[in-house]
Structure 1
Amino acid sequence: MFATAFGELVKGMAHEVVRVIGRCDEAAETQHLDLSECELMQIPDAVYHLMRHTELKTCDLSSNVIKKIPPKFAVKFSLITDLNLSHNQMSKLPDELADLGSLKRLDISHNSFIVLPPVVFKMPKLEELRANNNEIIEIDTDQMITSNSLEVVDMRNNPLTRSCYMRLKNAKVNFRIELSEWVDDDW
C-alpha cells in the first residue's frame, strides 16, 4: 500500500514538473510566464534557469501555495509589467521588488498580508495595486500619498482598523482607493 501511495505521489510530482517546464517553454515564445495552479510552494530555481534568455513581460504565480518571493526574482525578471501573486500564502514581499522598474500592475489579493508591504510604494511605475481579501489592518498612508504613478488601490475586504479606514476614506490622493463599506461591529 505504501509503495502504491508513494508511486502516485511521485507520478503527481512528475506531472507538475512537466507542466512547469511546458509553461516555461511557452513563455520563451510569448514572454508571458503562467505558472498559476501548479501547486508551487516556491519558485523553482529551474524556472530562473529556463527563463534566463527570455525578457518576460508578465508573470502569473496565482493559485499556488507560495509563502515568499525570493529577492532574486526582481533581478531575474526585472522587465515585467504585470505580476500576479494572488491566491497564495504570502505575508510579506522582499524590498528588492522595488527594483521592478517597469511593473505597472501588482495583484497580491487573497493572501495573508497583515500590513500593506511598504515596498509597493517604492515601485516607480506601479499604477494598479490589488490587495483585496487579505488580513490587512494598517497602511502607512503617508508613504502611499507620495506615490506618483498609482491610479487605483483595491483594499476591499480587509479588516482595517477604524482609524486606518477613515484615513484612507478621507485621503487627498490623485488615485482611486477602493474600500468595502465600513461595518461598525461595536454594539
Structure 2
Amino acid sequence: MTKSLIMSFINMANQVARVVVRCEEANETQHLDLSECQLMHVPDAVYHLMRNTELKSCDLSSNVITRITAKFALKFSLITVLNLSHNQMSKLPDELADLASLLKLDISHNSFITLPLVVFKMRNLRQLLANNNSIIDIEADHKLIASDSLELVDLRHNPLTPQCFESLKNAPVNFHIELTERQKEDWEDLTI
C-alpha cells in the first residue's frame, strides 16, 4: 500500500468516527450536527444510530451533499431547523413538505437555479434562506406563491431574471422578501 492510500483510509476512518460521535451527542441533545464531515449524502448508518431520537434540528452544512432523499423527511419528521447550506444541492424532494414542524430552512450557498416549489408547501416554515445560489427564477407562477406561515425569504445574491426580480419585488405577499438590487447586464442595455 502506498502512503497516500493509507492516509486516505485514515482520513475516512476519522470522518466515520466523527459522524458516530456526533450522532451519540445528538442522542442526548436532540441536535444533530454533521457539518464539515465531508458527506456526499446522509448515510443509512446515521438513520440507524438516530432511530430512537426525536431530533429538533439537523445541521448538514459545509459538506459535499448533492441531494437529500425522501427517507430524510420520514426519519427526521420532527425537526424545526434544517441547515443544508454550503453544499452542492440543486433540488429538494417533495417529501420535505411533510416536515410539519420545520420553522427554518437554510439552503444558501448551494447550486439551485430555481427556487423549489416544495418550500411553499411546508406548512409552518417561517424562514427560508436561499441566498448565494444561482437562482434565476421560481418554479411556479409568482401568483401561486402563498404562505400563511412564512415571515422571511432571503434571495439575495442570486442572478434573478429581470421579470422574476420585478415580480418578486412587487409581489403582494404577506412575508418579507430580501433581494439584492439588480444591475443591468451589458446585453440588457440597448444604448451601448
- Scaled by the length of structure 2, the TM-score of the pair is 0.95
Matches within 5 A, 1:68-83: 68-83=67-82
Identity of aligned residues (%): 65
RMSD of aligned alpha carbons: 0.8
Structure 1 counterpart SS, 2:23: helix
**Displacement, 1:122?**
0.5
Distance 1:58 1:142 in 2: 32
Deviations 1:120-146 (A, max 9, x none): 0100000000000001101132232x2
**Displacement, 1:182?**
1.3
Distance 2:16 2:42 in 1: 12
Q: Hey, which bits of structure 1, 4+ residues long, moved more than 3 A?
A: none
Structure 1 counterpart SS, 2:17: helix
Distance 1:108 1:143 in 2: 21
**Displacement, 1:147?**
1.0
* Paired positions, count: 185
Query: 8 Å contact 1:121–1:143 — kept in the other structure?
Result: no
Corresponding residue of 1:184: 184
Distance 1:142 1:105 in 2: 23
Query: 8 Å contact 1:52–1:76 — kept in the other structure?
Result: yes
- Scaled by the length of structure 1, the TM-score of the pair is 0.97
Corresponding residue of 1:12: 11
Unaligned runs of 5+ in 2: none
Q: Which amino acid aligns with 1:48?
A: Y
Distance 2:115 2:182 in 1: 19
Deviations 1:17-44 (A, max 9, x none): 0000000000000000000000001111
**Displacement, 1:177?**
0.2
Q: Which amino acid aligns with 1:79?
A: L
Unaligned runs of 5+ in 1: none
Deviations 1:166-186 (A, max 9, x none): 000001111100000111113
Query: 8 Å contact 1:118–1:143 — kept in the other structure?
Result: no
Q: Which amino acid aligns with 1:143?
A: L
Distance 1:156 1:44 in 2: 32
**Displacement, 1:3?**
1.8
Distance 1:136 1:4 in 2: 43
Structure 1 counterpart SS, 2:2: helix
Distance 2:143 2:101 in 1: 23
Distance 1:10 1:27 in 2: 26
Q: Which amino acid aligns with 1:142?
A: K
